[in-house]
Structure 1
Amino acid sequence: MPVALDRRTRRDADVRQVSMEEFLAVDFPDLVARHGEFVANGIASLDAPPLAVEIGDQCWSFTPDGATLAVSPGRAEGAVVVTFSEAEFSDWVQNQQSFNAMLVARELRYRGGSERDISIWDSLWLALLEGWPVVDDGIDFLDRRGEPLDLRRLFTPGDDPADIAHFLREAGFLHLRGWIDPSDMAKVSNDIDRALEYCYEGDGRSWWATLRDGTRQCVRLQQFSRRSATSVAILRGARWDSLRQALAGDEELVGPSADDNGLEALVKPVGVTVGASDVSFHRDCHLGRHAYNCSSPVVGIAVTASGEANGQLRVVAGSHRVLIPVEIAKTAPYLPVVAVPTEPGDVTVHLSCTLHESTPPIVEERRVMYTGFALPPRENGTNGNRKLSELRERVSAILLEHSVGPETRP
């Protein structure tokens, strides 16, 4: 069944300091009664080890117990052990940050297991908190009439908006053509060239990567609307608003804003060796806060063509419905992986909780812009998370500091 865009179940106004004792007494019994089966099924299907959580000098283990999840004091045999401070644990059990966020920040302390185990437990824990199944042998992809969905379908403005909205919710992504004049993309590419002249490392509005020859190149231009009147005109046009309405369906979406922070331009060169340029499978909510923000449609505009030669978007269809772990998606996906080759002016959409990646260019560079639509704000809904926002902006610097290649996932 397709899922609604609005999956927000938590509000920042309700965030509190949670100890392990309080979590086990107040939160865990209800969560395990409702979602324990999802966790137990995931552990069995993915051959996950138990999870042991250390806080100070105390330790608790989470293990399968028949068709559900159980917790007991001490370290279970064969467990992967994660060590938390009290503040880290409190954030983790409220989906304020994930294991992946702590891995990216080089702050996760664990032993007795692999990064694959950590990735699986990232998904298992979110399954416990949110009731999002990690495995589902019965998943299918159907159109509004109950017929098999063509996952490579391309939608135009002439298609039924209800079919567009349904496809997005069913598959987690879209490929669109005819919503933007392709001739505008040459103008946008020229705007990118001019904007690059004003960028320098440390300017606070650009990301940089190292190429094979040792040179540094700007790969992400933030605040791009300041430099591209053509792009702003696209985002303010009637056709773009009709796209917003088509994606929203029976729900509500706002934006995108044509202000300083509403648009980014990405340049994806050949031969990146260090830096966040072509990022392998990840969710945009994978640092945390899925339950506070998801799911928003993330919109890409192809400035140049994309494909196997110069890199392209690939998505894991249905990964907003089945919580396949990132490491499993990278090595042995059990959901369909779909490449989305584009022509200049094509539009791609993926939900913020859909797994996706950018493959690296082999022959020539690729250019793309990213913006998005958002769910309407809720009263006392979200104040954001400053730590995660700062972490996202530091990803490029962290990768450079640790000389990590482009396959690393933020």
Structure 2
Amino acid sequence: MGTDTRGTGLPWVEAIAGSFPRYSFDEFHTIQLPALNARNAVLLVDDLAGVPPLGFRLPGGRAFTWAATADGIRVVEGEQNAETLVELDETTFSSYLNELLTASGSVRTERATVVRGSLDGWKRWQPATRSLISGRPIYTDAVRDTLVGLDGEPLDLLRRFPVDGDRDEMRHFLDTAGFLHVKEVYSPEEIASFREEVEFVRSRTTPGDPYSWWSLNADGDEVVTRINYLGRHSEVLQELCFEPRMTEFARLGNPAFRVCDDRLDGPMVFVKSSDIVKGDGDLGWHTDDGIGGHPVLCPLIQAGVQLDHADPENGQLMVLAGSHRYTNHWLQWGEEGNLPVVRLETEPGDLTLHFGDLMHSTPPPVGRNAGRRALYYKFSEEKTFEWVPPGCHYNDALFHADATGKVSARAATH
């Protein structure tokens, strides 16, 4: 997890909200939402068919209910017909509309309370809300028609580009599919050195370290699954932030990208282990702005240096191709239907790239002795550096003590 090294209680998170347009609760419901619906209803009608009404209520009692209709969204004053009712203040409501908070992020940071119904009831409306305001369509299997190469032919989503591959083709593939797989970027000697450094950092990392994530396996052992800010113990892994090959490939996503060497968790390593039963060793479908912060963090590239073979046995990255260009429902494994799921099989020395707002997942390894390690380096635009201070991450908002004083840092403690 990221850490607010300044110990300031995250006032910069609130300052970010202050730099975005402030929505009036009443004006949005009575004027802006109907106008947005007239413009973008075609994007959401099919998605919302049959979805129960959602209500929002201010602490003082003022409330509006959103109902799905054949014409999009109809707003009714009051809360009586809302199957799911959310109470939040006007600042949080505005942050939700600005994509600075998601439904999950609003609840998990205790900025909103679901007083009737369920969080899932609120989340069900979220893609339509995002589409209503932004004009981005909702992700469905219709995306397949857009996954087309420069030659007009469907993309080979399992394509692995050579290091000297055509940069225009690589850039188009990354922009269109949201990910890229480049073969043999790093030599066996370089990978051996990186592995040695990772193991040294792991030897210096213990449960309770605020810069690491820990999980429990089936034997009851606590195992490290992620270590952030690797430069605390390894100059080699810190200097890799500025390695020219990685920088060039990351900037295929945006020529203005710079590496997040001192914030957003800095250089980090994921370690996949078998038989994880508690904690975040295995991650379901998600985006890196899952609690919010989309306009702050995105576009963002995750550059992954593969230290071990990745496949179902040893653990692998899965992505939903093209999902970074859409608003997305939160899926469980097995709910993908006909969506273009891509399972990346990589070798040591390969470099993978994916956008942070691409839906991606790291399911449990099926082998008994998995140990796949992958280094990750984030690249983002200058705006991210202006908003997020060194040593911090937008997700720090999650890691505050709750009403009982508990902080989510280790699987053994929550």
Q: TM-score, normalised by structure 2?
A: 0.83
Residue 195 of structure 1 deviates from its aligned partner by 1.3
Question: Compared with structure 1, are the counterparts of its residues 322 and 330 closer, same or farther at alpha carbon in structure 2 (3 Å cutoff)?
Answer: farther
Residue 80 of structure 1 deviates from its aligned partner by 2.2
Residue 331 of structure 1 deviates from its aligned partner by 2.0
Hey, what does 1:349 align to over in structure 2? 353
The 5-angstrom pairing of residues 7-18 of structure 1 reads 14-15=19-20, 18=23
Work out whether 1:210 is the aligned partner of 2:210: no
Matches of 2:198 and 2:388, distance apart in 1: 32
Deviations 1:382-410 (A, max 9, x none): 457x8943235569953757977xxxxxx
Residue 41 of structure 1 contacts residue 135 of structure 1 at CA under 8 Å; is this kept in 2?
no
Hey, what does 2:295 align to over in structure 1? 291
Residue 184 of structure 2 contacts residue 348 of structure 2 at CA under 8 Å; is this kept in 1?
no
Matches of 2:309 and 2:129, distance apart in 1: 39
Out of 194, 211, 220, the residue aligned to residue 188 of structure 1 is 194
Hey, what does 2:322 align to over in structure 1? 318
Question: Compared with structure 1, are the counterparts of its residues 136 and 392 closer, same or farther at alpha carbon in structure 2 (3 Å cutoff)?
Answer: same
Matches of 2:48 and 2:65, distance apart in 1: 14
Work out whether 1:331 is the aligned partner of 2:335: yes
Deviates more, 1:164-173 or 1:196-205: 196-205
Question: Compared with structure 1, are the counterparts of its residues 146 and 113 closer, same or farther at alpha carbon in structure 2 (3 Å cutoff)?
Answer: farther
Deviations 1:241-276 (A, max 9, x none): 33234333xx53222538895300122222222111
Question: Compared with structure 1, are the counterparts of its residues 158 and 258 closer, same or farther at alpha carbon in structure 2 (3 Å cutoff)?
Answer: farther
Hey, what does 1:80 align to over in structure 2? 84
The 5-angstrom pairing of residues 95-244 of structure 1 reads 95-105=99-109, 109-110=113-114, 113-114=117-118, 116-136=120-140, 138-139=142-143, 140=145, 141-244=147-250
Residue 116 of structure 1 contacts residue 328 of structure 1 at CA under 8 Å; is this kept in 2?
no
Residue 192 of structure 1 deviates from its aligned partner by 1.9
Matches of 1:403 and 1:106, distance apart in 2: 19
Hey, what does 2:41 align to over in structure 1? 36
Residue 179 of structure 2 contacts residue 353 of structure 2 at CA under 8 Å; is this kept in 1?
yes
Task: Return the letter of the residue paired with 2:158.
Answer: R
Work out whether 1:53 is the aligned partner of 2:56: yes
Matches of 1:137 and 1:299, distance apart in 2: 26
Hey, what does 1:279 align to over in structure 2? 283
Hey, what does 1:8 align to over in structure 2? none
Residue 118 of structure 1 deviates from its aligned partner by 3.1
Residue 236 of structure 1 contacts residue 258 of structure 1 at CA under 8 Å; is this kept in 2?
no
Out of 7, 10, 26, the residue aligned to residue 21 of structure 1 is 26
Deviates more, 1:223-232 or 1:272-281: 223-232
| Structure 1 portions without partners, runs of 5+ | 1-10, 405-410
Matches of 1:260 and 1:14, distance apart in 2: 20
Hey, what does 2:94 align to over in structure 1? 90
Residue 281 of structure 1 deviates from its aligned partner by 0.4
Matches of 1:72 and 1:259, distance apart in 2: 43
Q: Secondary structure at the match of 1:247?
A: coil
Deviations 1:63-82 (A, max 9, x none): 23433322111236463222
Q: Secondary structure at the match of 1:398?
A: coil
Matches of 1:41 and 1:48, distance apart in 2: 10
Residue 250 of structure 2 contacts residue 303 of structure 2 at CA under 8 Å; is this kept in 1?
no
Task: State how many pairs are aligned.
Answer: 389
Q: Secondary structure at the match of 2:259?
A: coil
Residue 171 of structure 1 contacts residue 318 of structure 1 at CA under 8 Å; is this kept in 2?
yes
Deviates more, 1:365-374 or 1:134-143: 134-143
Deviates more, 1:161-170 or 1:16-25: 16-25
| Structure 2 portions without partners, runs of 5+ | 1-15
Matches of 2:263 and 2:291, distance apart in 1: 25
Hey, what does 2:373 align to over in structure 1? 367
Question: Compared with structure 1, are the counterparts of its residues 317 and 200 closer, same or farther at alpha carbon in structure 2 (3 Å cutoff)?
Answer: same
Residue 147 of structure 1 deviates from its aligned partner by 0.7
Residue 305 of structure 2 contacts residue 349 of structure 2 at CA under 8 Å; is this kept in 1?
yes
The CA RMSD over aligned residues, in Å, is 3.2
Q: TM-score, normalised by structure 1?
A: 0.84
Q: Secondary structure at the match of 1:132?
A: coil
Matches of 1:245 and 1:88, distance apart in 2: 34
Deviates more, 1:195-204 or 1:166-175: 195-204
Deviates more, 1:15-24 or 1:255-264: 255-264
Work out whether 1:66 is the aligned partner of 2:70: yes
